[in-house]
């Protein structure tokens, strides 16, 4: 197979982990006889500094022409600490999703047996947790009408039936491939937009009789994820709730550096780690590259290269079992490995298999 990959390394630790993801994808391609080409592009704070646009038109064109985007992270403290900034790195991420039609963000949440002790939850609660959060990406408050003034501000949480139907369809399709349980998360007791979500879901449920559909208010869901994470199989929700719940879900595994994601829709799909740019760690060779590498596994599986994706996952599991880990998940008195060392260990494992 021939694949054209747009590489958006972004800001902070992005360039460091991006290199490891590209190296792993290259190693897999060489092993299985695929041809992968790469084209890099600017985004986030790096793009603002260069061309005053967090998602330049040239970057959009490169993404459009690619088969997939391998994205890393955006964000910079000089914008975070400046509330008057008119252009922000995160606007590039939102623009990318909107322009590429990426309405579905898929975030797997899983535990690793050798890292259960790193989870803030008790072993008996978290062991075996394995679910997927599906977040609607291009609607809701993040994209609704806005106003910001000195004395009043608002963000409009707007959804259409079409937007709700298409993301629920994604949720049901994932549920059919898994344990056939879909939880729709909303706030229908308060929000009109959530009542539309619940109404549409209730209408669609009979089309998927094999799937058990239940409904949960977002505040209850946030508690249930901590109290009983194994309850969930596939969770689907709107943009703002999904942003919060998926970050909460990342704590279950014990590190945000372990979880990948995919954003899909009508245009070029994007594969990325869920963590941010962690600017404080920039250049220190301590960032965990595993989420970026597992994003490569999701990319391969998206193109039905299941054996290739499985090998990447096997290599990641092997690195963890061998205690080849960056500092935040390393065992006491374990050997010191940095971003580059972990990534290259995984590359060599793939080449040896």
- Output phi, psi for 269, to 5 deg: -75, 150
SS (H, E, C) the chain: CEEEEEEEEECCCHHHHHHHHHHHHHHHHHHHCCEEEEEECCCHHHHHHHHCCCCCHHHHHHHHHCCEEEEEECCCHHHHCCCCCCCCHHHHHHHHHHHCCCCEEEEEEECCHHHHHHCCCCHHHHCCCEEEEEEECCCHHHCCCEEECCCCEEECCCCCHHHHHHHHHHHHHHHHHCCCEEEEEECCCCCHHHHHHHHHHHHHHHHCCCCEEEEEEHHHHHHHHHHCHHHCCEEEECHHHHHHHHHHHHHHHCCHHHCEEEEECCCCCEEEECCCCCHHHCCCCCCCCHHHHHHHHHHHHHCCCHHHHHHHHHHHHHHHHCCCCCHHHCCCCCCCCCHHHHHHHHHHHHHHC
Q: Which pLDDT belongs to residue 117?
A: 82
Q: Is 11 a catalytic residue?
A: no
SS (H, E, C) 3-36: EEEEEEEECCCHHHHHHHHHHHHHHHHHHHCCEE
Catalytic residue among 49, 113, 123, 219: 219
- Give the length of the chain: 353
Catalytic residue among 217, 247, 282, 302: 247
Catalytic residue among 11, 118, 142, 174: 142
Domains 1-102+266-353 and 106-264 share a fold: yes
Catalytic residue among 67, 130, 155, 243: 243
Q: Is 142 a catalytic residue?
A: yes
Q: Identify the CATH homologous superfamily for domain 1-102+266-353.
A: Isopropylmalate Dehydrogenase (3.40.718.10)
Domain locations along the chain = 1-102+266-353, 106-264
Q: Is 219 a catalytic residue?
A: yes
Q: Which pLDDT belongs to residue 159?
A: 97
* Cα–Cα distance measured from residue 54 to residue 52, given in angstroms and rounded to the nearest whole number: 7
Assign domain 106-264 to its CATH architecture.
Answer: 3-Layer(aba) Sandwich (3.40)
Q: Is 214 a catalytic residue?
A: no
* Cα–Cα distance measured from residue 267 to residue 252, given in angstroms and rounded to the nearest whole number: 31
Q: How do the pLDDT tens digits run along the chain, 353 residues long? A: 999 999 999 999 999 999 999 999 999 999 999 999 999 999 999 999 999 999 999 999 999 999 999 999 999 988 877 666 778 899 998 899 999 999 999 999 988 888 888 888 888 888 999 999 999 999 999 889 999 899 999 999 999 999 999 999 999 999 999 999 999 999 999 999 999 999 999 999 999 999 999 999 999 999 999 999 999 999 999 999 999 998 888 888 877 788 899 999 999 999 999 888 999 999 999 999 999 999 999 999 999 999 999 999 999 999 999 999 999 899 888 899 999 999 999 999 999 98
């Amino acid at each position: 197979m021939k694949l054209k990959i747009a590489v958006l390394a972004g800001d902070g630790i992005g360039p460091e982990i991006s290199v490891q993801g590209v190296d792993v994808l290259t190693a897999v391609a060489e092993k299985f006889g695929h041809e992968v080409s790469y084209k890099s592009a600017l985004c986030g704070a790096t793009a603002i500094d260069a061309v005053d646009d967090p998602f330049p038109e040239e970057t959009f064109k490169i993404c459009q022409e690619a088969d997939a985007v391998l994205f890393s992270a955006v964000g910079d403290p000089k914008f975070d600490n400046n509330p008057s900034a008119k252009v922000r790195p995160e606007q590039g991420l939102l623009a990318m999703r909107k322009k590429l039609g990426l309405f579905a963000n898929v975030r797997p949440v899983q535990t690793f047996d050798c890292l259960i002790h790193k989870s803030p939850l008790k072993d008996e609660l978290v062991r075996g947790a394995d679910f997927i959060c599906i977040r609607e990406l291009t609607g809701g408050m993040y994209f609704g009408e806005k106003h910001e003034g000195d004395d009043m501000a608002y963000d409009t949480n707007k959804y259409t039936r079409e937007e709700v139907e298409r993301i629920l369809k994604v949720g049901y399709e994932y549920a059919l491939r898994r344990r056939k349980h879909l939880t729709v998360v909303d706030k229908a007791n308060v929000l009109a937009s959530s009542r539309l979500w619940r109404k549409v879901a209730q209408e669609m449920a009979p089309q998927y009789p094999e799937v058990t559909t239940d409904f949960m208010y977002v505040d209850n869901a946030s508690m249930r994820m901590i109290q009983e994470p194994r309850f969930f199989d596939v969770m689907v929700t709107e943009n703002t709730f999904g942003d919060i719940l998926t970050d909460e879900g990342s704590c279950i595994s014990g590190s945000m550096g372990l979880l990948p994601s995919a954003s899909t829709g009508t245009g070029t799909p994007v594969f990325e780690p869920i963590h941010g740019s962690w600017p404080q760690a920039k250049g220190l060779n301590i960032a965990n590259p595993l989420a970026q590498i597992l994003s490569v596994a999701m990319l391969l599986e998206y193109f039905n290269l299941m054996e290739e994706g499985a090998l990447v996952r096997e290599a990641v599991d092997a690195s963890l079992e061998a205690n080849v880990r960056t500092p935040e998940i390393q065992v006491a008195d374990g050997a010191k490995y940095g971003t580059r060392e972990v990534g290259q260990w995984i590359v060599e494992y793939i080449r040896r298999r």
